[in-house]
């Protein structure tokens, strides 16, 4: 991925996505967090997601959208719950208290409400709140990603597709990360059985950014669903250098295809097994 210019306060305002902070550093760190979330990559050159969120909090602890991102990502990760995790519960209360103590934009208020609602376990209503944001701010990537992941957990495949389809016309080629949004759309098409269209859109996204994991994931799945494992494995092998840095999801796709085609001991399989084990802390 070509280096992106991280947006300062004015750039966020010019994009129609004003952030309630006076710190340009915080705005850039928030952008770096979104880039990593959207690209499915914990990028050490940007400081990693946790590193960016920590620096945001240290620089401007009153920046509400930093708390929204941190709490939302914890909840989306599904590994923690405020019902049994006091630290997360306290973090959510801090976010809520801060949101009431300062003048926020309506968009930011809706973000707070959506994360609170998700924390309460009402995922359909949380998705509705993120959709309200997208109605007036279709290039709000955090709202789009949170809604997309929420629909995934709910098994709402059509909403996964249509939520992105509704805003895609507003994502111009020059808009940062627009190709990744197209990759998200390709996954929604896949999930609703539009395999040929999903393949076409994913390839368009990869033509812009070859390391787009969502699009690679889509193409791998399309070949699986069509029982065209030879083409799927050829694609994954030819593009391995573009996705091998990613987590276990893409490794899983290849391992399953190699197994199904009867090549459980191929060189590619052995490499990915080692990578999978390392990712899951199983070595040694």
Domain interval for residue 144: 9-154
Q: What is the mean pLDDT of residues 249-262?
A: 52
Helix (H/G/I), strand (E/B), else coil: 85: coil
Cα–Cα distances (Å) from 278 to 47, 178, 209, 231, in that order, read 21, 32, 27, 27
Q: Is residue 110 part of a domain?
A: yes
Can you tell me the distance from the alpha carbon of 217 to that of 104, in angstroms, rounded to the nearest whole number? 37
* Cβ neighbours of residue 29 closer than 8 Å, sequence gap 6 or more: 6, 47, 52, 53, 55, 56, 59
Q: Tell me which long-range contacts 192-195 makes (C-beta under 8 A, separation of at least 24).
A: 192/157, 192/158, 192/160, 192/161, 193/225, 194/161, 195/222, 195/225, 195/226
Residue 157's pLDDT band, with cuts at 50, 70 and 90, is: very high
Q: How many other β-carbons are positioned within 10 Å of the β-carbon of residue 200?
A: 14
Q: Is residue 17 part of a domain?
A: yes
Helix or strand run (H / E) with residue 137: none
Residue 194 has pLDDT above 70, yes or no: yes
Q: What is the mean pLDDT of residues 57-74?
A: 98
Q: Is residue 99 part of a domain?
A: yes
- Going 213 to 218 to 223 to 227, the CA torsion angle's sign is positive
Q: Which pLDDT belongs to residue 244?
A: 66
Q: Which pLDDT belongs to residue 17?
A: 98
Report the number of distinct structural domains present in the chain: 1
Q: Which pLDDT belongs to residue 240?
A: 74
Residue 237 has pLDDT above 90, yes or no: no
Q: Is residue 71 part of a domain?
A: yes
Q: What is the mean pLDDT of residues 96-121?
A: 98
pLDDT-wise least confident of 46-50, 95-99, 107-111, 182-186: 46-50
Residue 206's pLDDT band, with cuts at 50, 70 and 90, is: very high
Q: Which pLDDT belongs to residue 283?
A: 33
Residue 31 has pLDDT above 80, yes or no: yes
Q: Is residue 52 part of a domain?
A: yes
Q: What is the mean pLDDT of residues 187-211?
A: 96
Q: What is the mean pLDDT of residues 185-212?
A: 96
What tokens does 181 get? Answer: 């949004």
Q: Is residue 141 part of a domain?
A: yes
Q: What is the mean pLDDT of residues 53-79?
A: 96
54 versus 41: which is more confidently predicted? 54
Q: Is residue 105 part of a domain?
A: yes
Q: Is residue 42 part of a domain?
A: yes
Q: Which percentage of the chain shows pLDDT scores above 90?
A: 68
CATH of the domain at 56: 1.25.40
What tokens does 23 get? Answer: 């710190």
Q: Which pLDDT belongs to residue 149?
A: 95
Residue 280's pLDDT band, with cuts at 50, 70 and 90, is: very low
Q: Which pLDDT belongs to residue 274?
A: 57
């Amino acid at each position: 991925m070509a280096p992106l210019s991280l947006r300062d306060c004015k750039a966020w305002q010019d994009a129609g996505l004003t952030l309630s902070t006076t710190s340009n550093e915080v705005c850039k760190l928030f952008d770096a967090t979104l880039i990593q979330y959207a690209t499915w990559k914990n990028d050490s050159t940007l400081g990693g997601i946790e590193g960016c969120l920590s620096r945001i909090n240290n620089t401007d602890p009153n920046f509400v959208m930093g708390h929204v991102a941190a709490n939302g990502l914890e909840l989306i990760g599904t590994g923690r719950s405020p019902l049994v995790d006091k630290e997360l519960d306290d973090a959510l209360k801090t976010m809520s208290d801060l949101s009431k103590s300062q003048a926020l934009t309506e968009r930011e208020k809706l973000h707070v409400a959506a994360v609170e609602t998700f924390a309460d376990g009402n995922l359909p209503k949380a998705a509705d709140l993120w959709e309200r944001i997208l109605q007036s701010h279709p290039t709000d990537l955090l709202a789009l990603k949170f809604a997309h992941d929420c629909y995934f957990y709910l098994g709402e495949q059509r909403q996964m597709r249509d939520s992105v389809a509704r805003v895609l016309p507003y994502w111009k080629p020059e808009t940062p990360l627009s190709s990744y949004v197209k990759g998200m759309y390709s996954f929604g098409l896949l999930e609703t059985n539009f395999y040929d269209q999903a393949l076409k859109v994913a390839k368009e996204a990869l033509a812009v950014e070859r390391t787009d994991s969502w699009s690679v994931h889509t193409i791998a799945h399309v070949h699986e669903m069509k029982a065209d494992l030879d083409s799927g494995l050829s694609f994954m092998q030819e593009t391995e250098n573009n996705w091998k840095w990613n987590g276990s999801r893409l490794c899983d796709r290849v391992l399953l295809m190699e197994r199904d085609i009867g090549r459980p001991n191929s060189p590619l399989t052995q490499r990915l097994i080692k990578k999978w084990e390392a990712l899951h802390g199983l070595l040694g």
